[in-house]
Amino acid sequence: MASIAVCPGSFDPITYGHLDIITRGAKVFEQIYVVVLNNSSKNSLFSVEERVELIREVTKDLPNVVVDSFQGLLVEYAKSVNAKAIIRGLRAVSDFEYEMQITSMNRVLEEDIETFFIMTNNQYSFLSSSIVKEVAKYGGDISELVPRPVKESLKEKFTKLHNQE
Ligand code: PNS
């Protein structure tokens, strides 16, 4: 049986922290579906299509990674691609409570799907999409935080937004 995992997230936008988790997950599972969950309760900077496009660009050298998007319950998406595993990254103890909540909920919804946690490399333990957007918004250097296509898209996005003000 192929080991298929889903790596879900908002990815608004993908950072080196996410990429680290995806790359390490891709060494363990035969196939990984990186899926952008269209979570309507969040105000996103990038559209779902833009986020998918950026993830595709920065994972193009990982042959067992497929990038997709979905609106609905994560476990429903996992079932649709025959995935028995969910991969989540853990940066610090502060992530634990939130992750425990969503893992427990997913288990109630579908007990046959297991969640696996990968500890983020220490160098990315402070990194989040929100912090990257904050720094990029005010023109800070984000070269060490996100891959080049993401850096360029952020620059373009904020230039456009500044010009509208
Ligand atoms: O990158 P994020 O924002 O921490 O990812 C959270 C995400 C998208 C994985 C989570 O919100 C999710 O799974 N949303 C889909 C809806 C769902 O399945 N909800 C039930 C479990 S909380």
- Whether ligand 1 lies within 6 angstroms of the CB of 73 is answered as yes
Q: Confirm whether 60 is a catalytic residue.
A: no
Q: Confirm whether 51 is a catalytic residue.
A: no
Mean pLDDT of 9-27: 97
pLDDT score at 162: 80
Mean pLDDT of 57-61: 98
- Whether ligand 1 lies within 6 angstroms of the CB of 90 is answered as no
Mean pLDDT of 23-40: 94
pLDDT score at 161: 85
Q: Give the range among 17-21, 27-31, 37-41, 135-139 with minimum mean pLDDT.
A: 37-41
Nearest to 59 by CA among 115, 11, 95: 11
For domain 4-125, give the fold.
Rossmann fold (3.40.50)
Q: Which of the following is catalytic: 18, 51, 88, 151?
A: 18
Q: Confirm whether 42 is a catalytic residue.
A: yes
How big is the chain by its Cα radius of gyration, in Å? 16
Any idea where the domains of the chain sit in the sequence?
A: 4-125
Mean pLDDT of 11-35: 97
Mean pLDDT of 47-57: 97
AA identity, residue 50: E
pLDDT score at 38: 83
Alpha helices in the chain (DSSP H): 16-28, 48-58, 74-80, 93-109, 129-137, 148-164
AA identity, residue 12: D
